[in-house]
C-alpha cells in the first residue's frame, strides 16, 4: 500500500434491486437524502481519484426492514450474496453484511451465514430499528454469535420514528443521525452489552455522533444509574473501546475531540460515498489532509488502524 493510500470503512452500496425494493415500498430517500444512483464502477472511480485502495461496502439507512420481517430477511440475504460476489471479483472491495434486526432467529442465522459461509468482513447494524436500540436484551443472542467470532460491527445510524415530525428547515439526517448513534452507544453501555460481549469490535459512523463531545456527561450514568454489575468499569472505559470513523466529520474539532478521547489508534477513514457524492468525498479527503497530525497518525488513520482491525 503506497504512502497516503486509504482504506474506506464507511462506503455504501445501493444495488439496483435494493433501490427497486425501496421504491416499491414508497421509499425514495434515506433519512431525507435522495437515494443515489450507484454502481461498483462509480465506487472505483472515486476510490481511484481519492487514493482509496479498498472499500468496505454496506447498506445504509433505512436498512432492509420496511414492515415485513420475512421480506427483510430475504432482502438481507440478497444484499449479502451480491456483496460477496463483488468481493470475490475484486480485491478492492470488502463488505459488512446486512442483517435484518426484526426477528432474532433470522438475524442470528444471517450473521452465521454471512460470516461463516459468504466471507463477510463484519456486519452492519443500525443504531435502532422500529424503536428498539442496540443494547436491548432482544439482541443478545445475536451479540453472542458476534462475540464468539470477535466480529467487526459497523454501527450506522437510523432515524427514530418521531424524527419526521420535527419541524426544522433541514433534512433529518443532518442532526438526527448523530443523536441516534449516541443513543445506541449509551444503551450498549448501560445495558451491559459492552461488558457481557467484550470481543465485539464496534465501529461508530460519523466520528461517534455526539459521543466525544458528550462523553463526560454520559459518564454521569456511573452515579445516577443502578449499574448492578452491568458496566462495572465505568462509562468512559467502554466509550474508549469503540472505533470511530471520519465520514462527514473531517474537521479539526472532530480530530481534537476523538484523539483526546480514545487516541489516534481508534480512528478510521470513512467517506460515506455515494450518499456523500464525489465532490464531497474530495472535500473530506482534502480537509483530513490539512489536519494537524503527524505522518504516523495520518498513516494510522488512513489505513494502518483498519488493516489491524480487518486483517
Per-residue pLDDT in tens (0 to 9) along the chain, 311 residues:
444 799 999 999 999 999 999 989 888 877 777 889 999 999 999 999 999 999 999 999 999 998 889 999 999 999 999 999 999 999 999 999 999 999 899 999 999 999 999 999 999 999 999 889 999 999 999 999 999 999 999 999 998 877 777 777 888 788 899 999 999 999 999 999 999 999 999 999 999 999 999 999 999 999 999 888 899 999 999 999 999 999 999 999 999 999 999 999 999 999 999 999 999 999 999 999 999 999 999 999 999 999 999 98
Burial class of residue 26 (count of CB atoms within 10 Å of its CB; 0-12, 13-18, 19+): exposed
| E strand or H helix that includes residue 305 | helix 305-310
d(CA 121, CA 113): 12
Three-class HEC string of 174-202: HHHHHHHHHHHHHHHHHCCHHHHCCCCEE
- Beta-bridge partners for 12: 58
Domain locations in the chain as residue ranges: 6-310
- For residue 85, the tally of other CB atoms under 10 A from its CB is 12
pTM of the model as a whole: 0.96
Residues in the chain: 311
Q: What pLDDT is recorded for position 1? A: 43
Query: What's the topology of domain 6-310?
Result: TIM Barrel (3.20.20)
- Report the pLDDT value the prediction gives residue 156, as an integer from 0 to 100: 98
Predicted confidence at residue 2, as pLDDT, reads 44
CA dist., res. 27 & res. 223, Å (int): 43
Residue 70 in 3-state DSSP?
helix
Which residues of 218-260 form beta strands (DSSP E)?
243-245
Locate 280 and state its grid cell. Answer: 464531497
Burial class (CB in 10 A: 0-12, 13-18, 19+), 292: exposed
Cα separation of 262 and 264, whole Å?
7
Cα separation, 238 vs 228, in Å, equals: 16
Determine the pLDDT at residue 122: 98
CB environment 275-290: b (16+ within 10 A), e (fewer): bbeeeebeebbebbee
How many angstroms separate the CA atoms of 256 and 207, rounded? Answer: 11
CB atoms within 10 A of CB 78: 16
Amino acid at each position: 500500500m503506497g504512502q497516503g493510500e486509504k482504506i474506506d470503512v464507511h462506503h455504501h452500496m445501493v444495488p439496483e434491486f435494493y433501490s427497486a425494493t425501496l421504491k416499491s415500498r414508497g421509499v425514495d430517500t434515506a433519512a431525507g437524502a435522495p437515494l443515489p444512483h450507484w454502481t461498483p464502477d462509480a465506487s472505483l472511480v472515486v476510490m481511484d481519484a481519492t487514493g482509496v485502495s479498498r472499500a468496505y461496502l454496506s447498506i445504509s439507512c433505512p436498512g432492509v426492514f420496511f414492515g415485513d420481517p420475512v421480506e427483510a430477511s430475504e432482502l438481507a440475504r440478497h444484499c449479502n450474496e451480491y456483496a460477496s460476489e463483488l468481493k470475490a471479483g475484486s480485491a478492492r472491495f470488502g463488505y459488512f453484511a446486512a442483517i435484518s434486526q426484526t426477528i432474532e432467529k433470522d438475524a442470528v442465522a444471517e450473521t452465521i451465514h454471512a460470516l461463516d459461509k459468504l466471507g463477510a468482513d463484519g456486519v452492519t447494524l443500525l443504531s435502532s430499528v422500529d424503536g428498539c436500540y442496540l443494547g436491548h436484551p432482544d439482541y443478545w443472542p445475536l451479540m453472542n454469535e458476534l462475540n464468539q467470532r470477535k466480529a467487526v460491527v459497523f454501527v450506522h445510524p437510523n432515524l427514530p420514528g418521531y424524527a419526521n415530525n420535527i419541524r426544522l428547515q433541514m433534512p433529518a439526517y443532518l442532526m438526527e443521525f448523530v443523536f441516534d448513534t449516541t443513543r445506541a452507544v449509551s444503551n450498549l453501555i448501560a445495558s451491559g452489552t459492552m461488558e457481557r460481549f467484550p470481543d465485539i469490535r464496534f465501529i461508530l459512523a460519523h466520528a461517534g455522533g455526539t459521543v466525544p463531545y458528550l462523553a463526560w456527561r454520559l459518564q454521569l450514568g456511573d452515579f445516577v444509574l443502578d449499574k448492578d454489575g452491568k458496566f462495572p468499569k465505568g462509562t468512559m472505559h467502554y466509550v474508549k473501546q469503540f472505533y470511530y470513523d471520519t465520514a462527514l466529520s473531517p474537521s479539526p474539532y472532530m480530530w481534537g475531540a476523538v484523539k483526546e478521547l480514545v487516541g489516534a489508534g481508534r480512528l478510521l477513514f470513512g467517506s460515506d460515498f455515494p450518499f456523500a457524492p464525489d465532490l464531497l468525498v474530495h472535500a473530506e479527503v482534502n480537509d483530513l489532509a490539512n489536519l494537524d497530525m503527524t505522518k504516523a497518525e495520518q498513516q494510522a488513520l488512513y489505513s494502518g488502524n483498519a488493516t489491524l482491525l480487518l486483517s
